[in-house]
Structure 1
């Protein structure tokens, strides 16, 4: 099934996305931030001046002055005549901010407790936007389990595990990404080695994202590989999605009542989310 493509915002003069500011920002600083945030509301990466102004809730002249000032500082890049995208200065700021998120020394103990409480494999995935939105496993607690027992080849790990279309952890991240990025992921091909439970229909996948946002967790049934089920919960940094905690267990060992597994997975994800918002906690 084909995904719906968001129409270009400049197709109709003056058209604005539904989440554009209701009132124009009053201060110069607020206007500059509004222009920067406009890029997160628009589909794609390169946009005309009119589209950026509409998403920022500003007039074209003000938006042009802010963009030209930002081009000089590397915050924005001008691509051709009257078209812009976010620049390397924005990326550097994001990298600097994410570099202070908690490392394995802080998170590994939380994963160990999840593993002990559930008897399942506990993994931490983080969102990686480089080269397209995907997830990467940065830490895990699996006890005495041989990684080969999971039954995935190196190729599977690269293709299936990185896709946000496959698995509870992928969907737990995808559910909180902007619609423009969700549309890109929904347009991706499903990895051919994905498990038999992978959600192939985009309408069903979208409905599962709504459910994750409503419940705060996701359940996967043999989505990434045969014979393994999972529970995943998102890890947030304030209102931004950073990754997901995954509890993975053999399908034959999954209890009928998932509430204890859900409770411990949610607790682990909330604990890691608290580390991202508390610099003091991250040092303990």
Structure 2
């Protein structure tokens, strides 16, 4: 069950006119339709283009890998699209940039600052790719690598996961809603689909999420999405032991500021020196 405040789909009333625009519209249709492999008829309806035009574009893109034909009448994005996406995301922001922003967030708040990236291969997950602990000793505070730093559990759990989930296209949200909640999810995790859906609406409205012991018992977090255009590619997380999220408005402000900085680097990378 997805939230009622879903991202809008393709405007089929305005089919692309130029040949290049038709290709781009067809690529975008794959991101808007539910499920994985798509039929020509569904792609044609989504783009407003004739079936014959859609079929011709798909067939012309199969040999070069722009599209993949998995069985008769069904297609998926091909490896060249995936290669282009990986190439684009690998260059911005750089490791020095992310570490500097996280270190600054830690210094301003005294909290653990972490960067999670969306990892789509093998199912939608999040993975911690960078962090700034300062002089904190997570082990002494009862925080261990699996649940907080290197876990790849569902986007249903934790502020870091829900803030990403809230800013994904509706078909990808549905994949997460269809998953079972991890068996080792902390007691604070949102287990009811309706409550989860309502939280996503509020997250999109406010621009952040607050997690109360959703991942690690005894720890709470504030998270804000790292955006590339209108899609989340990760999240910045500020984490403290339960009861220490005092002056919440200030902590939210610092977390959102760090996320905006990373989003700006992703969307508008600095020119090469």
Q: If the TM-score is normalised by the length of the shorter chain, which range does it land in?
A: over 0.9
Aligned runs of 1:164-203 on 2, under 5 Å?
164-203=155-194
Cross-structure match for 2:26: 35
CA apart distance, 1:180: 0.9
Conservation of the 8 A alpha-carbon contact between 1:47 and 1:84: yes
Is 1:266 aligned to residue 256 of structure 2?
yes
* C-alpha distance after superposition, 1:193-242 (max 9, x if no partner): 22211000011101111111000000000000111111000011222311
Q: 1:111 Cα shift?
A: 0.8
Bigger drift between 58-67 and 71-80 goes to: 71-80
What root-mean-square deviation, in Å, do the aligned CA atoms of Structure 1 and Structure 2 show? 1.9
**Cα distance between partner residues in 1 of 2:146 and 2:260:** 31
Instruction: Please name the residue that 1:49 is paired with.
Output: 40
Say if 2:145 and 2:151, in contact at 8 Å, map to a contact too: no
Q: Runs of 5+ in structure 1 lacking a partner? A: 5-16
Which protein, 1 or 2, shows the higher relative CO under an 8 Å CA cutoff with sep ≥ 6?
2
Residues in 1 aligned to 2:244 and 2:151: alpha-carbon distance in whole angstroms: 23
Show CA shifts across 1:13-64 (max 9, x none): xxxx953332111101111111111111111211111011111211100001
The 4+ residue runs of structure 1 with deviation greater than 6 A are none
Contact 1:123 1:246 in 2 (8 A): yes
Residue in structure 2 matched with residue 135 of structure 1 by the alignment: 126
Matched, 1:218 2:209: yes
1: CA distance, partners of 2:105 / 2:99:
10
Judge conservation of contact 2:167–2:230 (CA < 8 Å) in 1.
no
Secondary structure of the structure 2 residue equivalent to 1:135: strand
Aligned to 1:97: 88
How many residues of Structure 1 are paired with residues of Structure 2 in the alignment? 268
**Aligned equivalents of 1:264, 1:202: Cα separation in 2:** 30
Is the contact between residue 38 and residue 52 of structure 1 (CA under 8 Å) also seen in structure 2?
yes
Do 1:156 and 1:193's aligned partners in 2 also have CA atoms closer than 8 Å? no
What's the offset of the Cα at 1:160? 5.3
What is the distance in 1 between the residues matched to 2:230 and 2:179? 26
**CA distance change for structure 1 residues 29 and 79 in 2, over 3 Å: closer, same or farther?**
same
The one of 107, 115, 119 equivalent to 1:116 is 107
Q: Equivalent residue of 1:192, what SS?
A: coil
Aligned-pair distance for 1:82? 1.2
Which residue, 69, 75, 83 being the options, matches 2:74?
A: 83
1:19 aligns with 2:13: no
